[in-house]
C-alpha cells in the first residue's frame, strides 16, 4: 500500500527556540525602509502590511517601535469620503480587505475616532447582497472571505446590527461542503483559510451551533503532516499561514488539543530565519511580515508564555478584544 505524503523534512540545524528579539527588529525595520524594493511592490496591500506588523509587534509587546502617529494619519488619508471604504494605500480604491485591516489597527490603538465610522458602516452595508453574501468592492466579487471581513469590521465598531446578520450566516452556511468544511462560494472546495473565515463569521455572529463540529474538526486535524506542519487542503504541502488558519479554527471549536501540539510547535519554530529574523511559509524560505504574524499568533495559541495571548477569531491581542468587550463564541466541548 502506498503511503506517500507531500511534506517537508525538518533539518537538524533548524531553529528550535523562539528568536523573539530578531523578529521584533525585523519588523521594526521592514515597514519603514523605503529603499526596500519590497516596500514599493507592496503598496497595493500596505494597509494589511501595517496590520500584520503591528499585531505581531503587539503580541511581542514592542508596538511602541511602530510610528503610531504616522500610521493613524495614513489611515485617515486612505478613507474614501464618497463610499466610506478604506483603501490599501493613498489613492487606491476602497476595498473590504483593507477596510478591515484599518479598523483592526485603529482598534489596537484605541483610535477609531480617526476615521468616519458611519462611513465605514455605510460602505460595508452597501456591499451586502440579497442572498446575504458580500462583495469585496464595487466590482462584485463574492467570497466568504468578505463575509468574515464584514462582520469583523462591524463588530469591532459595535455596529453589527447594521447588516442582516441572519442572511449573512445563511450564506456562509450555504458554502458548507459534504466534508463539513467550507469554500469561497457554494460548491467550492473546502479550504483551511476559508474554513477559518466561515467559522470566524459564525463565532462573531454566535451561530457556531450550525456547524457539523466533529466532521469539521476531524477534517482540520487531518491537515497535520508528519513534519508537524499543517496544510490547507489534502495533498498540499504544509504552510505556516495554513497552520494558523487550521489552529485558529480548531481553537474556536475548542479542539486544538486534537493535533500534536509539540510537533506543530517544532514546525513553527523551524520556519524562523535565524539570520534575518521573521518567519516564512516553510523552513528555509524567505520570511515576510504575513507569515511572521501567523507564526507568532500560532505559538501564542499553543500557549507560549513570552508572547501575549491572541484571540483566535480576530487574530488580535486578547487584551484588545477584552477592552472592546467583544465575546466571540468559542464552542464548549
**Which residues of this chain interact with another protein, rule CB under 8 A?**
1-3, 32-37, 39-41, 43-46, 67, 70-71, 73-74, 77, 87-93, 95, 137, 139-141, 177-179, 183-185, 187-191, 217-219, 221-222, 224, 226, 233-236, 255, 257-260, 263
DSSP annotation string for 13-72: TS--S--HHHHHHHHHHHTT-TT-HHHHHTGGGHHHHHHHHHHHHHHTT-GGGS-HHHHH
Residue 219 CB, nearest approach to another protein (Å): 8
# binding residues, Zn ion (CB under 5 A) = 3
Judge whether 49 and 42 are in contact, CB under 8 Å: yes
Residues 276-295 that bind Zn ion (CB under 5 A): 281
| CA–CA gap between residue 198 and residue 183 (Å, rounded) | 8
Minimal distance in Å, beta carbon 290 to Zn ion? 7
In angstroms, the CA 109 to CA 45 distance is 20
Kindly state the smallest distance separating residue 321's Cβ from another protein, in Å.
27
DSSP state of 229: -
Contact partner at residue 239 from Zn ion, another protein, none, CB < 5 to 8 Å by partner kind:
Zn ion
Q: Which is nearer to Zn ion, 115 or 241 (CB)?
A: 241
Task: Please name which of 28, 31, 25 lies closest in space to residue 43, comparing C-alpha atoms.
Answer: 31
Q: Compare residues 74 and 279 and give the one whose CB is closer to another protein.
A: 74
Q: For the window 213-252, what string marks contact with Zn ion as x by the rule CB under 5 A? A: --------------------------x-x-----------
Note whether 273 binds Zn ion by CB under 5 A: no
In the complex with Zn ion, the residue whose CB is nearer, 143 or 239, is 239
Closest CA to 33 of 19, 53, 48: 53
Considering only CA atoms, which of 1, 56, 68 is closest in space to residue 294? Answer: 56
Count the neighbouring beta carbons within 10 Å of the beta carbon of residue 290: 22
Set of cell numbers at residue 164: 442582516
At closest approach, how far in Å is the CB of 12 from another protein? Answer: 21
The contact set with Zn ion (CB under 5 A) reads 239, 241, 281
Amino acid at each position: 500500500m502506498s503511503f506517500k505524503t507531500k511534506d517537508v523534512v525538518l533539518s537538524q540545524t533548524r531553529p528550535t527556540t523562539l528568536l523573539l528579539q530578531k523578529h521584533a527588529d525585523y519588523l521594526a525595520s521592514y515597514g519603514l525602509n523605503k529603499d526596500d524594493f519590497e516596500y514599493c511592490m507592496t503598496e497595493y496591500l500596505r494597509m494589511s502590511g501595517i496590520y500584520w506588523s503591528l499585531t505581531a509587534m503587539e503580541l511581542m509587546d514592542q508596538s511602541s517601535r511602530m510610528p503610531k502617529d504616522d500610521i493613524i494619519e495614513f489611515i485617515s488619508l486612505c478613507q474614501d469620503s464618497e463610499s466610506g471604504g478604506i483603501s490599501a494605500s493613498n489613492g487606491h480604491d476602497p476595498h473590504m480587505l483593507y477596510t478591515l485591516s484599518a479598523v483592526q489597527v485603529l482598534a489596537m490603538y484605541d483610535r477609531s475616532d480617526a476615521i468616519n465610522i458611519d462611513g465605514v458602516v455605510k460602505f460595508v452595508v452597501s456591499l451586502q447582497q440579497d442572498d446575504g453574501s458580500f462583495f469585496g468592492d464595487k466590482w462584485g466579487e463574492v467570497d466568504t472571505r468578505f463575509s468574515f471581513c464584514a462582520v469583523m469590521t462591524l463588530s469591532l465598531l459595535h455596529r453589527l446590527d447594521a447588516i442582516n446578520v441572519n442572511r449573512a450566516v445563511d450564506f456562509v452556511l450555504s458554502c458548507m461542503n459534504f466534508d463539513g468544511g467550507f469554500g469561497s462560494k457554494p460548491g467550492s472546495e473546502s479550504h483551511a483559510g476559508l474554513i477559518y473565515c466561515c467559522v470566524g463569521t459564525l463565532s462573531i455572529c454566535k451561530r457556531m451551533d450550525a456547524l457539523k463540529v466533529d466532521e469539521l474538526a476531524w477534517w482540520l486535524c487531518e491537515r497535520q503532516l508528519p513534519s508537524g506542519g499543517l496544510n490547507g487542503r489534502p495533498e498540499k504541502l504544509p504552510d505556516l499561514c495554513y497552520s494558523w488558519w487550521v489552529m485558529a479554527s480548531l481553537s474556536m471549536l475548542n479542539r486544538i488539543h486534537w493535533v500534536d501540539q509539540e510537533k506543530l510547535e517544532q514546525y513553527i519554530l523551524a520556519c524562523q530565519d535565524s539570520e534575518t529574523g521573521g518567519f516564512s511559509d516553510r523552513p528555509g524560505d524567505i520570511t515576510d511580515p504575513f507569515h511572521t504574524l501567523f507564526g507568532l499568533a500560532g505559538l501564542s495559541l499553543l500557549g507560549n508564555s513570552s508572547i501575549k495571548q491572541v484571540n483566535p477569531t480576530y487574530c488580535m491581542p486578547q487584551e484588545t478584544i477584552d477592552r472592546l468587550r467583544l465575546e466571540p463564541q468559542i464552542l464548549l466541548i
